[in-house]
Amino acid sequence: MILFEPFHLPFMARALVELLVLGALAGTVGVLVLLRRLAFVSDTLTHTVFPGVVIGHLMAGNGGIFWGALAAGVVTAVLLTLLTQRRRVNEDAALAMLLTTLFAVGVVLVSRQTGFTSDLTAFLFGRVLTVTEAQLAQTAVVTVVVVALLAVLRRPLLLRAFDPEGAQAAGVRVGLLDLVLNVAVALVVVAAVKAVGTVLVIALLIVPAAAARRLSDRLAVIVPLACVVGAAAGWLGLVVSYEASVGHGVRLASGATVVLVLVTMYVLAHVAGFVRRKAGLSRARRRSVLEAA
Amino acid sequence: MSEHAPTLVLDRASVAYGDVPVLEELHGVVHEGEAVALIGPNGAGKSTFIKALLGLVPVVRGRIEVLGRPPAQARRDVAYVPQADTLDPDFPVSVEQVVMMGRYRRIGWLRRPSAADRAEVADALEQVGLAGRARDRFGTLSGGQRQRVLLARAIAAKPRMLLLDEPFNGVDAVSQHALLEAIGALKAQGASVVVSTHDLAIAHLACDEVCLLNRHQFGFGPTGDVLTPERLRATYGGHALELRGDRVIVTQT
């Protein structure tokens, strides 16, 4: 069957596992990003991880990418947390400056390399088909750590997202909690660099959570649904890009295909959500008419 | 005046954000089971007053004691009720989940809510008259009902002091009545209540004491003694008009 056949190839199987795990990880973290309205902060993180990727690659080759990304991710997560705690700074402008500056540093560094465009494409858009078992292990470890951390902190995270002042009043250390979430986002970016690159990872974070939110009002449903949407988009994206390349001779970049599948799923979720709300409204109307009668 | 123990002591206290003093010369005492209304124009520092009682704004001069402790150390026994309209109505939480947040401190990070926690949540919703709405999404309720849910969250925390920031703003009559009833019940159980409001009638109705504020304190004491035309005019800077001798209307808040 077309949905399973490509994954008899070992490199396709590795790519599938990588995207399934990443989809679940990004889905979980993405729900919090959505609730906290941190899309722009997350986008900044994706761009600031980029110079770390380049420096890691320059210093230690492919094996250095993860550690370079990790260092850059954690440092910028701390910087962003400090920046967003100070209300007086114009936050958007500051983030935009940080984002472009560090991104430019990355481009300058990578442009000094021979094979510049090939490296640049790999860092920006990922090469999921060349994922190694070591990278799979890194992704798995990051996933376990991040999901465990968020599961333990789920109550203060929820309270802080819903009612920041109430959280402070209840003695929640809001600054520390914000740092944890920013580091979690950075870790998702780091884990996803190899598979989808630093630019496309933002879609993996935002779209599954947004799609799941269209379909449910309950967090207990939204979180697992976002994981499923993220993982399913990874799977389908791989199948589509494989079929197009092998079956029809059309070369589709797998990372970008995954993102397009995600967006398609969001559109479907949006339509389904619209129908659901309509149905809910007319049910409520019927009930109130019955009650009135 | 009262045989009950003092729960809030303000001793010539000033609070400040950084170098900028926001409130000065706060002085007064609140006892168990008493309610005090914070009255003053917008920007007078009512919210800052409440934040100071939570230890979120530093005291730079004098002393504030909440339940016999410095404010930041009393948070465990203090519940804060924010204005409902500051919260995102699209947030995917149910009414029950919001009220359960009041139990988080007791539940901790990992334990599942116990039957006792669920009973407290149900009780608290009952007290604000929203028992039937537990499973509804918070944002689908009216503004007044959302305010009642937030009060239920505070009730579920079993506080010894309750702080409410403008809970009656834009609230319909039914919800206002339900809020006043629930606040009355908390007082009867010995909790102290601090409530900021624009509504002088509510201060008369629900509160034993009034604190008049506009950057500094214009009066603190029994409602009848403090809510005088002269003091209100002083607090509101001439925007209060006198009607028929003893009534005051505030024309600009």
What are the extents of the domains in chain A? 5-292
Maximum separation of any 2 CA atoms in chain B, in Å: 61
pLDDT at B180 over 50: yes
Domain B6-250 belongs in CATH node 3.40.50.300: yes
Question: How near does any CA of chain B get to the CA of A61, in Å?
Answer: 41
B169 and A CB contact within 8 Å: no
B94 interfaces chain A, CB cutoff of 8 Å: yes
| Contact state of A171 with B88 under an 8 Å Cβ cutoff | no
Residue labelled with tokens 């967006």: A263
Q: Tell whether domain A5-292 is in CATH 1.10.150.120.
A: no
Could you say which of B75, B98, B137 has the minimum Cβ distance to residue A217?
Answer: B137
Q: Name B219's bridge partners.
A: B212
What is the reported pTM? 0.89
Task: Tell me the shortest Cα–Cα distance from B31 to chain A, in angstroms.
Answer: 21
Of the candidates B75, B93, B163, the beta carbon closest to that of A162 is on: B93
Smallest Cα distance from A170 to chain B, Å: 6
Contacts of A234 (CB under 8 A, 6+ apart): A16, A18, A19, A20, A22, A23, A258
The answer to whether B92 contacts A222, with C-beta atoms less than 8 Å apart, is: yes
State pLDDT tens for residues B64-93: 999 999 999 999 999 999 999 999 999 999
Which of B101, B110, B150 lies closest to A159 in CB terms?
A: B101
pLDDT in tens, A203-253: 999 999 999 999 999 999 999 999 999 999 999 999 999 999 888 888 888
Pairing state of beta strands B216-222 and B192-197?
unpaired
Of A205-214, B66-75, B150-159, B232-241, the poorest mean pLDDT is in: B232-241
A163 CB neighbours in chain B (<8 A) are 82, 87, 101
Tokens 């201060």 identify what position?
Answer: B203
Residue spans per domain, chain B: 6-250
Chain A positions in Cβ-Cβ contact with residue B98 (cut-off 8 Å): 162
Shortest CA distance to A231 belongs to which of A77, A17, A8, A7?
A17
What ipTM, to 2 d.p.? 0.89
